[in-house]
A and B are shown apart, each in its own frame.
Chain A
Amino acid sequence: MKISEKEVAHVAHLARLHLDPEELVRMTAQLDTILSYVAKLDELDTSGVEPTTHAFAISNAFREDEVQESLDRSQALANGPKQNGESFVVPRII
C-alpha cells in the first residue's frame, strides 16, 4: 500500500473535505492505484539530476514596479458568498 486510510483522512481534513467511511475506503484504494502508477518513476536513477520545477528552460519573467488600476470594489466583492458592500463577510474567526 502506498497510502493508508489514516493519511487519506488527514489530507481530507487539511482540504476541509468530509469523507464518510465508505468514501474513505474508496478514495484510499483509488489514490493507492494512482500513487503506485506514479511510483514507476522511482525506478529511474535521478542521482545527479537537478530537481526540475518547470518543463521550460526559461527564467526571470518580471514585471516592472508600476501601479495599474485595480478592480471596482463591487466587482471585487461580486463573487463572495456574503459581502456588505465594503468587505467579504465570513463567520467570525478566533
Chain B
Amino acid sequence: MEFETVIGLEIHAQMKTDSKIFCGCTTSFGSPPNTNTCPVCLGLPGSLPVLNKRVVEFAIKMGLATNSTINATNQFARKNYFYPDLPKGYQTSQFDRPIIEHGYVDIEVDGEHKRIGITRMHMEEDAGKLIHDDYEPFSYVDLNRTGTPLLEIVSEPDLRSPRQASAYLKKIHAILRYLDICDGNMQEGSFRCDANISLRPFGRDELGTRTELKNMNSFRNVQAALEYEERRQRDILLEGGSITQQTLLWNPDTEKTEPMRGKEDAHDYRYFPCPDLIPVEIGDSWIAQVRKTLPELPDQRKSRFLREFDLPEYDAAILTESRELADYFETAVKRYAQPKKVSNWMMTELLRELKGGSISECRVAPEQLGELLDMIEQGTISGKIAKAVFGDMLESGLDPGIIVKKKDLLQVSDESELLAIVREIIAENPAQVTDYRNGKTKLLGYFVGQLMQRTKGKANPGLANQLFNKELTG
C-alpha cells in the first residue's frame, strides 16, 4: 500500500526583546542561574504582569510578513499544568483568541512550489530550565528564561514530506531573521520546533494517528527525525499494526525516535482567560505603522536578485536564505561588479570554510572578497593562488593586497622572466619533449605543472600555456 505523509510543525521563536514579556528582567542568555528574576517571573503572590509592547509589535510584523490576519482583539489565557520549570503553575499563553491567524508562506522543493498554511501564531512566555544531577536524585531549576517572550507558530497539516517540512522551517526561520525579531539560534534554543506526523493511505481524507516529535535542535535533526518516524510508522502500518498516539523524543546519537520516559498525563490544560491581563486591541493605524517598518523579505529579495543580478535560481535561493549572507553578497558586488563570480566564490569557498557557521563571524569582509576577485580579474594573482590567499584572509582578516605582498605571491606575467624558465624546463626534459612533438599533446599539462612548481604557483597560467606551445612546436 502507498501512504501519504502528513506533517504539521509547531515552532517556538524567542522574540528578540531586551526585557521579558511581562516584567523588566533581561532576556540575555548565559547569565548565572537565577540572577534574572523578579516577583513577576518567579510567580510570587500579589505580583502582576504588564505586557511588553514590543512583543505585540514583533507579532504584528510576523503576521504581516506571512500574509496573515491580525486579530483586532486578542486575549491572554492561562494554560494550567505543574512542572518545576513553571513557577506559577500555569503558562500565560493565548488560546481561543490568538493575535495572528490564517496566514501562509510559499516554499519550493525540487522546483515544485507549494503554499503552506499557517493556522495561528500566539504570544506566550517561555518556561525555566531544568538541569538534572548526574548522580543525585535532584534537578536544579534555573528561572532566568522564565518569561522570555515566545511566538508560537502553528502550521496547517499541509506538509507532505520531511523535505517540505525542512523547507518550511527554513522559510519561517529566514523571515524571522529578516524581520530581526528572533535570533534563530537552534542550538541555544531560541528557535525550536516540534512536529506532528501521521501517515494515511493515498486518497483518504481522514488523518491517521499521529505522533509528536520533540528535541530536534537543528534543521538536519528535524529532517532526520521526520524521515525516521515516517519509516517507522510505515513499517508498522504495512505489518497491519496501529500507531500509538504519543510524544517521541529524537535521539541524535542513536538517530532514532524514542518514547518520552515516565508517565505522561493526558493533556488537560483547563485554559481560561487570564484575569491579570486585559485584552490587546490592534487598530488599523497600528498595523499601518508597523507595516512601514517591514524590511525586504526573503522572497522579495530573491526575486530582486534574479532580476537585478541575473543570478541562477539556485544561487539566488541560497544567497537570500539569510539576511546576512544576502547583505554580504550585495556589499561584495559593490566592490566587484560581477555578481555571478561573487556568487560562485561565496557558494563554494566561503560557505565551505564557514562550515555551517554564521557569516557574521567571518573575518573576511565582503569588500575584501570583492578586492580579491578583482585581483584575479586584473591578473595580479592566479585563481589558484587566490584560494590560498583567501584561506589566509579567513585566518588573519588582512586585506588580500597585504597578504600577496607579504608572501610574495604576485603573479608572474613577465614574458622574458617566464620564457627563461620555460626553456630550462624544455632543456631538462628531452624525452617528454620528443613525446609531445610526436603528438602526445596532453603533456602540455606536465610542462605547465613544472613551471608552476618552480614559480610556486605564481606563473600566469594563460601565458605559461602560450609560451610552451610556442617553444615546443616552434
Contacts and interface: CB of A to CB of B under 8 A. Distances in A.
Interface stretch (B4-12, B30-38, B368-376, B385-393): B30-38
Given A16-B82, A70-B25, A70-B37, A63 B18 contact: no
A87 B34 contact: yes
B50 A76 contact: no
B141 A88 contact: yes
Contact of A63 (B26, B33, B50, B139): B50
Contacts of A61: 50-51, 278
A10 B143 CA distance: 29
A46 interface: no
Contact of A67 (B26, B33, B51, B53): B26
Interface in A59-73: 59-71, 73
Nearest to B15: A65
B33 A86 contact: yes
Given A16-B82, A67-B18, A77-B34, A91 B54 contact: no
B138 A70 contact: no
Interface in B1-50: 17-19, 23-26, 32-39, 42, 44, 50
B133 to A, nearest CB: 7
A70 B278 contact: no
Interface string B138-163: 11111100000000000000000000
Interface stretch (B102-110, B196-204, B267-275, B420-428): B267-275
B131 A62 contact: no
Interface in B90-147: 130-133, 136-143
Given A60-B280, A62-B51, A87-B140, A67 B25 contact: yes
Interface string B346-368: 00000000000000000000000
B450 interface: no
Given A67-B26, A71-B39, A76-B143, A62 B56 contact: yes
B75 interface: yes
B220 interface: no
Interface in B53-87: 53-56, 73, 75, 80, 82-84
A90 B84 CA distance: 7
A14 B373 CA distance: 66
A71 B261 CA distance: 35
A41 B280 CA distance: 27
A73 B35 contact: yes
Interface string A34-78: 000000000000000000011010111111111111110100110
Interface residues of B, number: 53
A53 B52 contact: no
B259 interface: no
B474 interface: no
A3 B51 CA distance: 36
Contacts of B279: 53-54, 59
Given A59-B279, A59-B281, A90 B139 contact: yes
Interface in B404-462: none
Nearest to A68: B24
A79 B138 contact: no
Contact of B137 (A54, A59, A76, A92): A92
A93 B18 CA distance: 31
Nearest to A92: B137
Contact of B268 (A14, A91, A92): A14
A86 B137 contact: no
Nearest to A52: B273
Interface string B330-353: 000000000000000000000000
B137 A63 contact: no
Given A59-B281, A71-B38, A73-B34, A87 B131 contact: yes
Contact of B139 (A54, A66, A70, A91): A91
A68 B273 CA distance: 28
A65 B17 CA distance: 7
Given A62-B56, A79-B44, A88-B34, A70 B26 contact: yes
A89 B140 contact: yes
B71 to A, nearest CB: 13
Contacts of B140: 84, 86-90
B240 interface: no
A68 B36 CA distance: 10
Given A14-B265, A90-B138, A93-B139, 16 more contacts: A14-B80, A14-B270, A62-B56, A65-B17, A66-B24, A67-B18, A67-B19, A67-B25, A69-B24, A73-B35, A76-B38, A88-B84, A89-B138, A91-B137, A93-B83, A93-B132
Interface of B: 17-19, 23-26, 32-39, 42, 44, 50-56, 73, 75, 80, 82-84, 130-133, 136-143, 261-262, 265, 268, 270, 273, 275, 278-281
6 contacts: A14-B265, A16-B82, A66-B24, A67-B24, A70-B25, A89-B140
Interface of A: 10, 14, 16, 53-54, 56, 58-71, 73, 76-77, 79, 84, 86-94
